Amino acid sequence: MRALGEEYQVWRLAEPKTWQADFYRRPLQDERGKILWELLICDPSRNFVYVAQCPQSEANSDWLASQLQTAAEGQLPDLIQVFRPQSVSLLEAASQKLEIPIEATRRTAALKQELQQRARNYPSLDNYTGATYEPIKLEKPPPQALPEQLWGEQWRFVTLAAGDLEESFRDRPIPILEMPAALLPLNLQIASTVKVPGVVIYGGRQSMQLARWLEEAKPVALNYVPTEVGKSGGLILEAGLVERWIVFTFEDPEVAKAAQTYEQRKQSSQGLHFLLIQPDDSGMTYSGFWLLREE
């Protein structure tokens, strides 16, 4: 116990230093007419932005490692987040030289905003090529069928008031729990009374196996895609950087109507929704929970 009058210090752990980075070709050229690649780095608040360009012939991990060191000014980041599949391997190779972890994630809002802002300025530059350029669009493969051994026994649409969402799951003994701070209703300024839609899958004996597979797949969003409006459709899981998985298909007007309501509620909740995996409908045991939002 500290004696009265004793002086003491409070040590505060520094927040992890995170960068979001993209390295890819741009609709720009150098004085020789060679396409330029651009490295764009920012922090999540966009208070720090670093830009460097090189011709495609020099776009390699050595050049990247040198630029990362220059941008860091002696203080390398604790993590670099990357959303573009074509950027991951090069940035991983460069970051390994500097012992910086790379996280492949779609959730790089600050970087995407910076890319879109820069894209609006490109046409005013003398070295703009005029080529079609969509700064954050990624090509996605057709959705793949979920492995049969992961199929759940039943599923249903549910809702939960935004004000109850965090309290309902944060302190539960759930083996796999993904509730990023940026997606909490309070941080999104969603009113506590708004109904947040979700999907519950009763996995039975496959419940934990499905939850572990989802953890590895990194769910981003679960969307209703109609095949015949008002009659049939399916739920498509957006995961990883560009992966898509067919979770369920149905040919039932009542289910299709519920799916439409699910999508309407997502609009009211700023896109926020959730996925819950549990063995059965007893409400006693949960295997996995994810807060989701389209990026």
The order of strands in the sheet holding 232-239 is: 144-145, 243-250, 232-239, 219-228
pLDDT of residue 151: 85
The confidence score (pLDDT) of residue 259 equals 96
Over the stretch 112-123, which tens digit does the pLDDT of each residue have? 999 999 999 999
Q: Which pLDDT score is estimated for 8?
A: 38
CA distance 108 to 103: 10
Residue 186 is predicted with a pLDDT of 94
Interatomic CA distance for residues 287 and 211, integer angstroms: 6
Q: Which residue do the tokens 């390699």 mark?
A: 60
Q: What is the pLDDT of residue 236?
A: 97
Q: What sign does the dihedral 128-129-130-133 (CA atoms) show?
A: negative
Q: Provide CB contacts within 8 A for 112, sequence distance 6+.
A: 83, 135, 136, 295
CA–CA separation, 111 and 43 (whole Å): 8
pLDDT value at position 148?
Answer: 84
pLDDT at 132 (0 to 100): 93
Q: How high is the pLDDT of residue 13?
A: 44
Domains of the chain: 18-124 (3.30.420.10), 144-292 (no CATH)
Query: pTM of this prediction?
Result: 0.86
Which residues in the chain come in under a pLDDT of 70? 1-15
